[in-house]
């Protein structure tokens, strides 16, 4: 719920919280369109599951932010696809971390305003 509020503070409201890995996997599998971003705690998964690899090769997820990564070793992500999966050691993302992720996914539009010429 805390993470959802952080997204709300940034103006993002289409959030689908899930309670467990099985619910997330079902959501990803049956989504009618690819999910723009999945934010997930590493501890939510089974030991044998490589979350980074799952998201890198899943076309139903455009981007993933995995936090709480305490398990070693961390997966190596090829340079060309690093922007698809971000990994954080933080136990819980804060507003700054979410802002950074969203800036890379949803860059601000350039300012378009009225230009007034005074002579």
| pLDDT tens-digit readout, 63-116 | 999 999 875 555 555 555 557 999 999 999 999 999 999 998 887 777 666 665
Query: How many CA within 13 A on the CB side of residue 21?
Result: 13
Q: Has residue 52 been placed in a domain?
A: yes
| Average pLDDT, integer, range 22-51 | 90
49 in any annotated domain: yes
As given in the structure block, the two tokens for residue 72 are: 């070693």
Place of tokens 């005074």: 118
Q: Provide the residue range defining the domain that includes 94.
A: 2-105
Biggest alpha carbon distance in the chain? 70
Q: What pLDDT score was predicted for residue 33? A: 92
What is the helix (H) or strand (E) element at residue 99, kind and residue range?
Answer: helix 95-105
For 70, which DSSP code? Answer: -
* Reported confidence tier of residue 13, pLDDT bands at 50, 70, 90: confident
* Domain presence at residue 113: no
Mean pLDDT of the region 8-13: 91
> pLDDT at position 105, please?
86
Number of separate domains in the chain: 1
Domain-located, residue 117: no
């Amino acid at each position: 719920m805390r993470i959802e509020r952080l997204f709300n503070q940034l103006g993002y409201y289409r959030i689908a919280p899930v309670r467990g890995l099985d619910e997330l996997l079902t959501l990803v599998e049956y989504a009618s369109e690819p999910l723009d971003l999945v934010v997930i705690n590493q501890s939510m998964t089974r030991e044998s599951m490589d979350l980074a690899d799952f998201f890198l090769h899943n076309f139903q997820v455009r981007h993933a932010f995995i936090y709480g990564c305490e398990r070693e070793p961390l997966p190596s992500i090829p340079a060309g696809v690093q922007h698809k999966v971000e990994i954080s050691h933080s136990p819980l993302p804060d507003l700054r971390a979410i802002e950074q992720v969203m800036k890379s996914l949803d860059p601000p539009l350039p300012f378009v305003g009225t230009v007034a010429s005074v002579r």
